[in-house]
Amino acid sequence: MGLKQQMKQSLGMAMTPQLQQAIKILQMSVMELQQEVTNALVENPTLEEGQDGDNEDERPLQESQAEEAAEAAAENPPDQLTEGKDDFDWQNYIDQSSSSAPLPSTRNTNSDDLPSFEQILSKSTSLADHVMWQLRMVTEDPKELEIGEEIAGNLNDDGYLSVLVDEIAAHAKVDASDVEVVLYKIQRFDPPGVAARDLKECLLIQSEILSEDDEVEMIIERHMAELENKNYPAIAKALDLPLERVIEACKVIHSMEPRPGRMYASTEPQYIVPDIYVLKVAGEFKILLNEDDIPRLRISKAYQQQLQAGLLQGEAKTFIKDKLKGAVWLMKSIYQRQRTIYRVTEAIVRRQRDFFDKGAQHLHPMILRDIADELGLHESTISRVTTNKYVHTPHGIFELKYFFNSGISRGDGAEDMASESVKQKIKEMVAAESPKNPLSDQQLADMLEQSNINIARRTVAKYREAMGILPSNKRKKYF
């Protein structure tokens, strides 16, 4: 088998840096885009942040600069990303950099949603600090305080000790018995049960502090599995006690705190900033892009004038030209991102009009290909646009991915139903059930069948688990 050379012609898409930047910006959330624009303003001297009150009658770019900007856009057109003709006038975009946004947006609108100064709180006390404050109140022994710091520093968000006693002893260079002494003290601090090693120990400590009957301790010690499944008759039979007494003891156990560190959890809330708003005005839905916190970009007139006057030569001129190209591409990518999000949301509103009018139960089946075919884009583009992008609707804030659901077939030739709508029906049926006689998965499936929704019991169980709803035996309430 010999070596030979041959020529072959083929088509392919080159992932240029400009195209990679366009794809990266397309899949950014509004907060990530804000940070990206802020970084670009710092790194690119030819970019400036425009102001809403800028004069719109600024002199346009010189013809040579406009040609350079056009050439920069023509060298690596990112049309592969949106797979459609780009008829946007970039020369006019740069010339009129202070004009209004190209798409409807929330920029320049008044907002009453900003937090007041009264809502800005200071740092809260952590669980470790609270434990150490109590330990210092009962002892001044340096060794005990050192052990206490090791214990307090190894408490998880639920208030449980996350390491072994032997590990603490080895790190503090003390005996395990010394650690046990300090641990015993801390476990009786506030909140009761803190620094327990498991749920059983946590509940037993609280039972001891509350001075409860032996029945409570026996149930915790021997029957945690039955307690979790609310199988009180089995506990009564095993302990040879009347069911009423077991239920009373279980009431006490259920009043205990299984997560002592809950109120001291320091997890910061994660706020969602919508990328787009869908508002109902005079019976019609209006779509607004969220551009409130995205700085408005424009090309620096100072560098334009320096290039025009020939004040930049050599490496400086090349550097500024490269930065100008980068600035044009960044603005072009941002515009494409905003335009694509707007078009995709517009198509979603058209197809899911019933949802925006009536709510989640009226969501229709829809897949990425439906929107891709309608807009002439690729499915991967729709996937990037809808990932980590949130829309504010009359029914709450949803990720754009929420509107894409598989279809559930219905009897009597009725239209298929979105899986999310089926989940909502299951949620409503569970909310309306009798707490003392909850519905099983099979009963839920039978009730759905009566509404011409044919799904198997295991599918009901999958949807129930996805919504965080417990099985019927754990939802049952005896008191």
Residue 295 has pLDDT above 90, yes or no: no
Q: Where are the alpha helices (DSSP H) in 154-194?
A: 165-172, 176-187
Give me the pLDDT at residue 414, please: 66
Distance of CA 422 to the CA centre of its chain: 23
Render pLDDT for 357-392 as a digit per residue (tens, 0 to 9): 988 888 889 999 999 999 999 999 999 899 889 999
In this prediction, residues 464-469 reach a mean pLDDT of 91
Give me the pLDDT at residue 110, please: 54
Render pLDDT for 153-164 as a digit per residue (tens, 0 to 9): 999 989 999 999
- Determine the 3-state secondary structure of 392 from DSSP: strand
Using alpha carbons, list the distances in angstroms from residue 230 to 199, 204, 412, 474, 478. 16, 18, 41, 6, 8
Give me the pLDDT at residue 75, please: 45
Render pLDDT for 84-132 as a digit per residue (tens, 0 to 9): 444 445 455 455 444 444 567 665 555 555 455 455 455 678 899 999 9
Asked if 306 contacts 316 with a C-beta cutoff of 8 angstroms, the reply is no
Structure tokens, 143: 């060794």
Residue 396 has pLDDT above 80, yes or no: yes
Render pLDDT for 215-224 as a digit per residue (tens, 0 to 9): 899 999 999 9
Give me the pLDDT at residue 51, please: 66
Highest-pLDDT range among 65-79, 183-197, 263-277, 316-330: 183-197
Residue 411 has pLDDT above 70, yes or no: no
Q: Kindly compute the dihedral angle of the four CA atoms of residues 241, 246, 249, 255, in this order, to the nearest 10 degrees.
A: 170
If one looks up domain 127-264 in CATH, what number appears?
A: 1.10.10.1330
Q: Which residue has the higher pLDDT, 205 or 88?
A: 205
If one looks up domain 419-475 in CATH, what number appears?
A: 1.10.10.60
Whole-number percent of the chain with pLDDT over 90: 42
Band (pLDDT 50/70/90 cuts) for residue 78 is very low
Band (pLDDT 50/70/90 cuts) for residue 60 is very low
**Spans of all domains in the chain:** 16-78+90-107+271-404, 127-264, 419-475
Residue 34 has pLDDT above 90, yes or no: no
Residues 6+ apart with CB under 8 A from 379: 368, 369, 372
Residues 6+ apart with CB under 8 A from 9: none
When mean pLDDT is compared across 62-71, 150-159, 230-239, 313-322, the lowest value belongs to: 62-71
Sign for the pseudo-dihedral over CA of 447, 449, 453, 459: positive
Structure tokens, 345: 């949301």
- Find the distance separating the first CA and the last CA of the chain, reported in whole Å: 84
Task: Say if residue 394 is preceded by a cis peptide, omega within 30 of 0.
Answer: no
Give me the pLDDT at residue 259, please: 93
Whole-number percent of the chain with pLDDT over 70: 82
For the chain, helix, strand, coil in percent to 5 are 55, 10, 40
Average pLDDT in the chain: 82
Q: Give the Cα separation of 374 and 346 in Å (integer).
A: 11
Band (pLDDT 50/70/90 cuts) for residue 50 is confident
Sign for the pseudo-dihedral over CA of 78, 83, 87, 92: negative
Give me the pLDDT at residue 163, please: 94
Residues 6+ apart with CB under 8 A from 245: 215, 236
Band (pLDDT 50/70/90 cuts) for residue 321 is confident
Render pLDDT for 144-155 as a digit per residue (tens, 0 to 9): 999 999 999 999
Per-position b or e across 115-154, b if 16+ CB within 10 A of its CB: eeeeeeeeeeeebbebbbebbeeeeeeeebeebbbbbbeb
Give me the pLDDT at residue 413, please: 61
Query: Whole-model pTM?
Result: 0.65
